[in-house]
Structure 1
Amino acid sequence: MPGGWYKASNAIVCDDVTIGEDSSFWFGVVARGDIAPIIIGKRTNVQDLACLHVDPARALRIGDDVSIAHHAVVHCDIVGNACLIGMHAIILGGAKIGEGSVIAAGALVPEGREIPPRSLVMGIPGKVVRQVTAAEYESNLWRARSYVENARRWHQTGSGVPAKPLNPDTGV
């Protein structure tokens, strides 16, 4: 893990997938670069049961400090830096997600849609409902950093339980 990236034991990362330093792939993830490349930046986490795939001759580029939550399907062209893709969100082919955006849980970004930077997208079909606040943007960055630390714990201990308690007084 140090200087590399983390993959849970049953995550599948196959074919043409390039992975940035300190990125992580959690349980049940499928990242399939079989018909075009997938390029993933630094400190990006792909959480349990998410799926990354591509259209023919269209690479998927995911930036730095991105969190792709549980069960999300990312099948688009670009996810910019510092984005959060919520649980069960779906992003279809040709879509482009601007830097710092949040795609809410369960949202569906239609094929070819371009989402401006720092947008909050909700609904089916996904619509920009407002701009992401500075606090939300910082939360996106914090989340990505926390997954780097969690991946390091898993790499060192074989589980998400820290080798030492977080708080020596309480043991948690």
Structure 2
Amino acid sequence: MLPRTYEGQVCSIARSLEVVGERWTLLIVRDALRGTRRFEDFRGSLGIAHNVLSDRLGKLCEAGILERRLYQTRPERYEYVVTPAGLDLWPVIMSLLLWGDGHRAPQGPPLVVVHRGCGGRLRPGLTCSACGKPLGPYDCEMQPGPGAHPADSTVSPASPA
């Protein structure tokens, strides 16, 4: 089995991979940025095993990417809210999405990221294809694209907490 750390690597990419490099982690962050907050909603969206999701959410909270907040007391239930450090991953997630759309989506993009201000699409460099403005997580909404499955629906990034 490969080690899970990059000891001896003096590299910010290696250090980042220690936090977000495990399988499922970036997909959990993707869903959190789209507004998913509750454990069962992550499970339903991802089809991930309970123990794996629990482990990844715990690690994301420890790393300060998500914050665990109590939303119900009887029984105790928690939701996971994106922190400022988590929001800083939005450009990474969107860059991966755009790369995947260009190189790994033969039927077309499953999701298109649209600028709420003018309706233009997100393009590399994270700017709007229509107006040229730089875009962030609260400037955009995601809509089903030509490669979407019929069950996909319009989704938007999480609102500020």
Fold in common (TM above 0.5): no
* Bigger Rg, structure 1 or 2: 2
Q: Place the TM-score, normalised by the shorter chain, in its bin.
A: under 0.3
Give 1 or 2: higher helix fraction: 2
Higher relative contact order (CA 8 A, sep 6+): 2
TM-score of the superposed pair, with normalisation by structure 1? 0.20
Give 1 or 2: higher strand fraction: 1
